[in-house]
Structure 1
């Protein structure tokens, strides 16, 4: 999978919720400022990243981060099938 098929994510302060709460948000246009983390845009990859706390490490954030906005974005992507019969979302 090439870099053009990966989804860039960045950390932002939450517009809602507790003061100072951090969220990982998708950056499909790759234009938002800040350190980016790259993920294969599948729910399975998102679940693994959350379980391993990979977003916090990749984005160098010591606090817990809410990665739900990334999942919400991923589920809206159309799904295509590759020649190996693997499901991959197109970006």
Structure 2
């Protein structure tokens, strides 16, 4: 979880030391229910990364799940896709 928080902080240009988050889930299905800096919700900045098409190529699955569910998954895109087989198809 801390690794993903740092990646997200880098994506939105916020120092990772200033991020507060709350995560819930089980095993490899955990999501950031809260992702904030000084009490300010940072999810709008994460959405902006998608709007500006700045999603890192290696992180597309997690951003797509965020778009669909409204919460960002903590597991890596590669590993998370093993639990959501829709993503593991020829040509994707």
TM class by shorter chain equals under 0.3
